[in-house]
Chain A
Amino acid sequence: MGNKQTIFTAQQLDAYQDCTFFTRKEIIRLFHRYRDLAPQLIPLDYTSGPDVKVPYELIGSMPELKENPFRQRIAEVFSEDGEGNMTLDDFLDMFSVLSEMAPKDLKAYYAFKIYDFNNDDYICKSDLEKTLSQLTRSELSEDESRLVCEKVIDEADLDNDGRLSLDDFQHMIGRAPDFLSTFHIRI
């Protein structure tokens, strides 16, 4: 557990450790998971901070994300270019927020961004309908889907502007104690 690894410099590892919820060992283990996705693309030596990205198709094929209905949105939210191609930083950030040590507010912020399909800082009815279709295999009829979305907005919209802002969402999450354990991917 000493300074035997040659992948990162000590400063890089310290920076990663301070900015994510992972320990050194986990960061190195995650690096190897990242590298396994595209071994010919990712160098073993990150001391010079190379700028490489793993394309979204490979990220989406990870066993932890493969079946998740929101994997594309997750990759987009955490990737720098907004399209799902992730650098090592994005990768670590993603799993750090989705780990069990991240606090509720941080998770709620990112969950909000994931469910906000059109990236306008509000979850409006269309975002909810898209979420619903992802979660129920598009088998609810249009009427039912519309009714459910209306119900959601009725219950959760506090400032009555017809859509959910981050505050509304965080307030609703505050009343759902399961959220911390369900918004969690083990790696």
Chain B
Amino acid sequence: MSLFPGGGVALGKLGLTEEDIMDEIESGKRDLVKELVAMSSREQIQAIRVLPMCLEDKKHIRSQVHDSKLSKHGLQLTCFTDCSEQVSRSFRRCGANVVSARQAMKLWQGTMKEVGGKFGTSVLSYFIFLKWLLMFNVFSFLINFGFVTVPQLIQPPNKTAAVGFRGLELLTGAGYFNQTVLYYGGYSNGTIGNEPVYDMQLAYFFTIAAYLVLCAVSLIYSVARSFQKNFVLSTTGSAWRLLCSWDFSITSEKAIRQRKNNLRVQLKESLSERSQRAHISTSAKLKQFGIHLGTWLISTALALASCAAIYYLGLYNLEVIKDSQDSISLLTEASTLLLPFVVSLINLIIPLLYSLINKTEKYSNPRTQIYVIILRNVFLKMGILGILCYYWMYNVPTTISCWESFIGQDLYRLVIIDFIFSMLESFFGEFLHNVIGTRCLPSLGVPEFDIARNVLDLIYAQTLAWIGIYFSPLLPLIQMIKLFLMFYLKKVSLNQNCQPPRRSGRAAQMQTIFIALLFFPSFVGALSMVAYTVWSLKPSEHCGPFQGLNITFEAVALWMDRQGSVSESMWPVWIYNNVIKSELFFYLISLIILVLIFFFWQITQGRKLLITLLREQIVNEGKDKAFLLDKLQKLQKEKQTTASSQRPYRQIPQSFDRRQEIEPDYDQDFEDLPGRPLPEEDTGPVGPPFTSALIQAMMARRQAEEEEEEGY
């Protein structure tokens, strides 16, 4: 689509009549209409919407397009075109109604607007991330409930000695809940129904597998899209800060004042950065390196120490539980809460230590500081989860009889205690900090909403939920409730206690990093653990849908054998035998993917080279443009002086200024800036000659055409 030079040109400056300009613009519009008519309806609408014109012009163009379309089809049956127009219009209206209905059902729309208005886009990104995770859990709960739990509820398995409901179950998840459909142990390995036989084993396996595959696809897609949008040629420097980073959606006066202050501080910093960069001596560099090394050693040591502590605590826990399997007393049950309590305590305290350590280090780039903190926290959390998985995979199955349910209970406890600790963290971290900061120690200040820490907490919680899907199919319900409550909790805490963030950080890049973290250590880790359980561990003998098999995957193998013997549908069996079981297939696929990656990498290298070349070309084109316009004006000036009597309507002022810059009136007050051209500018150094290169070129073309006509 062509951009019209219409908009801001002060025609009066150039002294041209409106006629010439309007003629050119009209012919431009006619070309535009021709282009639009050639498109399909939907493309037309999209193209009209993105035209950079005012609404009236757009409506005018739209009606012209309609008229010319009608006239084009004038020969055909007008009744038919009328009908088809009506039908397509009613379809569009239907589509628009569906979109608006979906929008009305969007959760928390008003709250998000409020938060975005007061705190800006980066804090809002936390809430958007929370909502996205909630959707994952809702989907998981619905399919687990629909395909696995409901059939089981129709035909419940035989329960052994049920324990009565004591209040402690809500925290520990054991006791009364032990034999229910909340855990793996509550599902039978039989079949349900008579004629269309519903095999519980296959249902359990395939539901969970399907959900994990869909999650993987959705996450990979999100990471790729986010990366593509946000990591392309990132900028540094103040140009970006000045012109692109102002957040137009903030509406609260206090927040805006704060932003202005922050921007000023950041600009001042960036100005002084330049001078500071050169002055680092070698001894200072060495010292910094030493400090970095020291802090990394300390943080790694802390992480390893916590992992070891958790592992030994787990072993101790196992000892206590092992002895009293069936008749678990209240005290023993309560002691199972010790492990989650310690885990959450570690998750609370060690990140605080990390940020304290971080304050002693100096980084040249504030972004690097945030990345280092995030990296350390990720190591800590994934280390904890890793050691827990190891403990669950190696120690638990050999010790406890219905070990999948036990792991499910452990996860339930972890999720619940994590939630309680989040509430406490909000209370202490934000509420008390606010109170202390405003009343007792003003130097501490009002707390900011720590986006990185909160998002990492969310990622950790979601990893627990993903690990738990196999062991406790209804865990997503608990996670859903937890996220729902967390939203309101964080919102209230934010409104009461926090101030808008000081650094207008790279919200988009942080989003990409968080989504990538959600995919790479978090989801992949959970998936590998579930995969290991399914492929290598022996399911428990006496409970659950896979009792009696050697490995869980055997259920599928047995099913395939049964299908093969029936020999009604050969292709799934063929696929199973030759594709999934054969290693050759996977080798071939890996090889092909590696080759493709290599090709794409080479293409990106080539494109990078192309970009630098094109940049040079733009600079050269700019110089060419300046040179040509210069020449054009010289020629027109000559023409003016020779033929000034013949063309009274082309009045290019004689006081012709070839300066490339406009020197405006600096004395003018900044407060009342009108958008109009100032009337004084007509007399002085008039007509920035390069204002509308297009206008100049049009004039030259018109002149050339007229000369041609005269020449005949």
Interface of A with B (CB < 8 Å)? 1, 14-21, 23-26, 63-64, 66-70, 72-73, 76-78, 80, 82-83, 89-90, 92-93, 96, 98, 102-103, 105-106, 109-111, 113, 115-122, 124-126, 128, 130-140, 144, 147-148, 151-152, 155-156, 158-163, 166-167, 169, 172-179, 181-186
Contact = CB atoms under 8 A, between A and B. Distances in A.
Given A117-B675, A172-B240, A181 B100 contact: no
A160 B509 CA distance: 30
11 contacts: A20-B49, A64-B251, A89-B54, A119-B8, A120-B677, A122-B662, A130-B670, A136-B260, A159-B623, A178-B245, A186-B117
Contacts of A130: 670, 673
Interface residues of B, number: 93
Nearest to B690: A161
A172 B239 contact: yes
A178 B508 contact: yes
Contacts of A158: 615, 618-619, 622
B661 A19 contact: no
Contacts of A166: 3
A139 B235 CA distance: 26
B264 A136 contact: yes
Contact of B267 (A110, A136, A173): A136
Given A18-B62, A106-B50, A181-B507, A115 B673 contact: no
B238 A148 contact: yes
A165 to B, nearest CB: 9
Given A82-B675, A158-B618, A109 B268 contact: no
Contacts of A110: 52
A136 B52 contact: no
B247 A182 contact: yes
B619 to A, nearest CB: 6
A160 B619 contact: yes
Contacts of B50: 102-103, 105-106
B664 A126 contact: yes
B121 A176 contact: no
B675 A76 contact: yes
Interface stretch (B21-29, B225-233, B294-302, B536-544): B225-233
A104 B507 CA distance: 17
B170 to A, nearest CB: 39
Interface of B: 3, 5, 7-10, 45, 48-50, 52, 54-56, 58-59, 62-63, 89, 92-93, 96-97, 99-101, 103-104, 113, 116-117, 121, 229-235, 237-240, 242-253, 256-257, 260-261, 263-264, 267-268, 270-271, 506-509, 615, 618-619, 621-623, 625-626, 660-662, 664, 666, 670, 673-678, 688, 690-692
A67 B673 contact: no
A146 to B, nearest CB: 11
Contacts of A25: 100, 104
Q: Taking each of A63, A132, A173, which has the highest tally of chain B beta carbons within 10 Å of its own beta carbon?
A: A132
Contacts of B626: 161
B9 A151 contact: no
Contact of B55 (A19, A119, A132, A159): A19
Contacts of B675: 73, 76-77, 82-83, 117, 119
Contacts of A93: 54-55
Contacts of B251: 63-64, 66-68
* Closest A-B pairs by Cβ, 5 of them: A159-B622, A76-B675, A89-B55, A119-B8, A176-B244
A77 B618 CA distance: 29
Given A20-B49, A124-B661, A163-B661, A185 B62 contact: no
B507 A121 contact: no
Nearest to A181: B121
B370 to A, nearest CB: 15
A162 B677 contact: no
Contacts of B507: 178, 181
A105 B710 CA distance: 43
A69 B58 CA distance: 29
A152 B619 contact: no
Contacts of B104: 25
Contacts of A148: 238, 242, 267, 271
A175 B55 contact: no
Contacts of B509: 177
A118 B662 contact: yes
B352 to A, nearest CB: 29
Contact of A162 (B247, B253, B661): B661
Contact of B242 (A17, A98, A105, A131): A131
Contact of A147 (B52, B271, B618, B692): B271
Given A15-B62, A185-B249, A24 B264 contact: no
Contacts of B619: 158-160
B235 A172 contact: yes
Nearest to A115: B243
Contact of A109 (B3, B253, B270, B673): B3
Contacts of A98: 248
A23 to B, nearest CB: 4
A133 B670 contact: yes
Contacts of A160: 619, 622-623
A155 B242 CA distance: 12
Contacts of B678: 118
A10 B59 CA distance: 14
A19 B237 contact: no
A124 B662 contact: yes
A121 B7 contact: yes
Nearest to A106: B50
A121 B9 contact: yes
A68 B256 CA distance: 8
A98 B249 CA distance: 9
Contacts of A181: 121, 507-508
A155 B239 contact: yes
B100 A1 contact: yes
Contact of A72 (B117, B240, B623, B673): B673
Nearest to A183: B248
B49 A21 contact: yes
A68 B117 CA distance: 11
Q: Taking each of B8, B101, B250, B260, which has the highest tally of chain A beta carbons within 10 Å of its own beta carbon?
A: B8
A119 B6 CA distance: 11
Given A93-B55, A175-B232, A178-B121, A82 B676 contact: yes
Q: Taking each of B56, B239, B688, which has the highest tally of chain A beta carbons within 10 Å of its own beta carbon?
A: B239
Given A93-B54, A109-B52, A162-B660, A152 B244 contact: no
Contacts of B670: 130, 133-134, 138
A128 B676 CA distance: 17
Given A144-B268, A178-B506, A152 B7 contact: no
B100 A26 contact: yes
A39 B445 CA distance: 45
A155 to B, nearest CB: 4
B327 to A, nearest CB: 58
A148 B253 CA distance: 25
A83 B8 contact: no
Contacts of A186: 113, 116-117, 249
B246 A182 contact: yes
Nearest to A165: B622
A19 B622 contact: no
Contacts of B116: 186
Contacts of A183: 244, 248
B696 to A, nearest CB: 13
A155 B37 CA distance: 41
Given A124-B661, A155-B237, A179-B244, 20 more contacts: A1-B101, A14-B89, A18-B45, A19-B62, A20-B55, A24-B93, A66-B251, A72-B673, A83-B676, A96-B49, A130-B670, A135-B246, A135-B260, A136-B260, A136-B263, A147-B271, A151-B271, A159-B618, A159-B621, A177-B231
Nearest to A176: B244
B264 A137 contact: yes
Given A20-B55, A128-B242, A151-B239, A119 B676 contact: yes
